Amino acid sequence: MTLPRSTPSAQGVDPAGLLAFLDSARAHDLGFHSLMVARHGRVIAEGWWSPYAAHRPSLVYSLSKTLTATAVALLSQEGLLTLDDLVLDHLPEIDRSTVDPRWRRVRIRHCLSMTIGHETDAWDRVFEGHPDAVEPGTDWVPWVFAVAPTTEPGTVFAYNQVATYLLSVVVGRVAGGGLRGVLRTRLLPALSLPDGGELLWHTDLLGRELGFSGAHVGTETILSLAQLYLDRGLWQGRRILSEAWVDEATVAFGPDNRDPASDPDWRRGYGYSFWMQAVGYRGDGAFGQFLVVLPEQDVAIAITSEQPRMQETLDALWEHVVPAVGRIGNPTLDDELAERLGSLGFEPLEGPALGPDYAEFKRSGSSDFSTPYTAVSVTREGTGHVVGLVRDGEHLSFRTGPGEWVESAILARGWRLPVVASGGWVDEDTFRAEARIIDTPHTFRVEARLRSGDADLVWRFVPLMGPDPLALCVRPAG
């Protein structure tokens, strides 16, 4: 616990607004996994939807960019780099005579502000013509510089994974241990956060953090980082980030060619890993991972979730939470809010039927899982079951229970993928289970039928890493 706790009423927030926000999230199926709200530096609301819990980190996708930018800020304060450094100065192995001249003018601040000169996200183009892209030991950096900018650096904004990947590579060059090393030694301990001991992050084939995505952090870490920026770099009276950095990072920087058809809170400008919005600013990640800073209200908010309609979450904040700040409410609703937040959860799937002790199924053609998955098996184990998945001849498995969430892990290729699952035989023909890859936003379902002998494997939303769940692995099996 890094921030003091209080109640909404004690900090001048009408708890009715927070209750209405929870109602809206449920009514619009916003798929929340966790929520934390702080005002005046005190947590006034916190809750996790079971089986998610406070101690579990989660993949936050592009919210990783905010962590990467913060690492750059810390190194800049130590004099190990400056925002005006040319990126190629930190990569002497790249022959400048072989790259487009515009690459020679790309600076750290261009990477932070997504103005390196590409007019669209260039990440996919980096790998075009490279069938060896996943071969161990492959270095992607030379391929990055083979994709020439099409405009002068600093003249055009494009949300571009390449920009933040280069920041990660540079951080790794100027500081030992890469992004994780910087954050573990300089940021997380200063915030008294537990993620410092186990900061998981997806990496490239040389072990460098992706930077633009891949970080796994807890909800309180997200909230604490939001609070740090809200307090303009101070943490409980101690200076962690310079005010100058916070001021520069949290305003729209440079020109903008954002799609006018995009959601309104994605059209208000971009700073150094922060989006401007109707109220305040935020870092965010796919499927509803949010770090929200509301300076005028002195409010910080952290949300993790699984849903693609991210503007709806922000709309609910503007409709219910922002008007509640500074509004006198009924203090008795503090207890109702705390009770609601303490009883949140996803209902586990039931399995009232007995079903056979063992059954095998062919993978159906209607599934959206990766094609190497060809078969499913279900084996009774005590009151629950073991669900088996055959992937390219390799047998993977996880456990599930009827009417309860059961924790286990898929073990494969030296990795451990934690899964919490529920389900069982719903009738004499059908087995159904829901599996939550608990360190990520993602959920998939298994439905197997005895009569037809086939089984569906269906994602709620296909992960950005692709349809194979093993692409989400980040924990070594040991």
Structural domain harbouring 244: 9-342
Query: How far is CA 51 from each of CA 32, 35, 447, rounded to the nearest angstrom?
Result: 12, 14, 21
Whether 347 maps to a domain, the answer reads no
- Low-confidence stretches of the chain (pLDDT < 50) are 196
The 3-state DSSP class for residue 445 equals strand
Residues 371, 313 share a domain: no
| In a domain? residue 349 | no
Q: How far are the Cα atoms of 7, 8, 278, 310, 320 from residue 324, in angstroms, in the given order?
A: 13, 9, 16, 21, 7
Tell me if 68 is assigned to some domain: yes
What's the rounded Cα separation, in Å, for the pair 207 and 281? Answer: 31
Q: Is residue 227 part of a domain?
A: yes
Residues 277-297 pLDDT 10s: 999 999 999 999 999 999 999
- Identify whether residues 198 and 264 lie together within a single domain: yes
Q: Are 117 and 150 in contact (CB under 8 A)?
A: yes
Q: Point out the domain boundary residue: 292, 313, 342.
A: 342
Q: Residue 69 contacts by C-beta under 8 Å, 6 or more apart in sequence?
A: 112, 164, 167, 249, 272, 273
Residues 60 and 173 in one domain: yes
pTM: 0.96
CA distances in angstroms from 386 to 200, 376, 401, 415, 457, listed in the order given: 27, 10, 9, 19, 15
- Domain match, 375 and 424 both: yes
Residue 458 lies in a domain: yes
Answer whether residue 143 is part of any domain: yes
Number of domains in the chain: 2
- Contact between 249 and 73 under an 8 Å Cβ cutoff? The reply is yes
- Do 242 and 99 share a domain, yes or no? yes
Residues 438, 329, single domain; the answer is: no
Please list the alpha-helical segments (H only) found in 235-305.
Answer: 243-249
Residue 366 pLDDT: 67
| Residue 352 belongs to some domain of the structure | no
Contact 413, 474 (CB under 8 A): no
Of the candidates 281, 307, 342, which is a domain's last residue?
A: 342
Task: Tell whether 390 and 269 lie within a shared domain.
Answer: no
190 and 113 fall within a common domain: yes
The pair of structure tokens assigned to 414 is: 């030296």
Residue 420's nearest CA partner among 412, 431, 410 is 410
Instruction: State whether 251 and 399 are in the same domain.
Output: no
Same domain for 94 and 135 = yes
- Specify whether 265 is located in the same domain as 324: yes
The last residue of one of the domains, among 342, 377, 399, is 342
CATH value at residue 435: 2.40.128
Residues 378-395 pLDDT 10s: 999 999 999 999 999 999
* Domain assignment of residue 350, yes or no: no
Residues 66 and 149 in one domain: yes
H helical segments located in 78-160: 108-112, 123-126, 141-145
Task: State the Cα–Cα distance between residues 32 and 50, nearest whole angstrom.
Answer: 10
- Say which CATH number the domain at 290 has: 3.40.710.10
